Amino acid sequence: MSSFDFASTIAVGSVLASVVLSTDHSLFKGAVALAGIIGFQSIFSLLVRKSNMFKRMATNNPLLLMQNGEILYANLKSANVGEGDLIAKLREANVLDYSEVKAVILESTGDMSVLHGDGEKSLHPDLLMGVRKEG
């Protein structure tokens, strides 16, 4: 789910709640608002699928925040993510030492994926497909 999909979902919920809970709004107005949101979402999704230029402008690519136990501070700064947020996510993933971390990726949805493990196993290159590695 992209951030635009998330915003559309929130907007649909808001319109539905307004129509159901308010006596000032008619069902027709609610239906028109929902049709507009769903129509706009459909057009946006079509453009993302059909136009690479629009996809680059309108969507985010995942960003590498940590690799092979090293925090990429430049990427944290560009993504506006605090080191404390990163460390909290590492704790949530039961990471005991930075050396266990193969990669931490800020996904296009805003979630952080922590890829870790002890031992000498390396990260399969396909798992980093499409991930920006700027810093």
* Residue 111: strand, helix, or coil: coil
In DSSP terms, 101 is beta-bridged to 116
Please choose, from the candidates 84, 92, 78, the residue with its C-alpha nearest in 3D space to the C-alpha of residue 135: 78
Task: Check if CATH label 3.30.240.20 holds for domain 63-128.
Answer: yes
* Residue 98: strand, helix, or coil: helix
Residue 118, pLDDT above cutoff 80: no
User: What's the farthest any 2 CA atoms get from each other in the chain?
Assistant: 64
Q: What is the DSSP letter of 112?
A: E
Per cent of the chain over pLDDT 90 is 48
Residue 36, pLDDT above cutoff 90: yes
Average pLDDT over residues 40-65: 87
Say what the pLDDT of residue 101 is. Answer: 93
58-77 pLDDT, tens digit each? 777 899 999 999 999 999 99
- pTM as predicted: 0.69
Distance of alpha carbon 106 from alpha carbon 85, whole angstroms: 11
Say what the pLDDT of residue 1 is. Answer: 63
Domain limits of the chain? 3-58, 63-128
Distance of alpha carbon 111 from alpha carbon 62, whole angstroms: 10
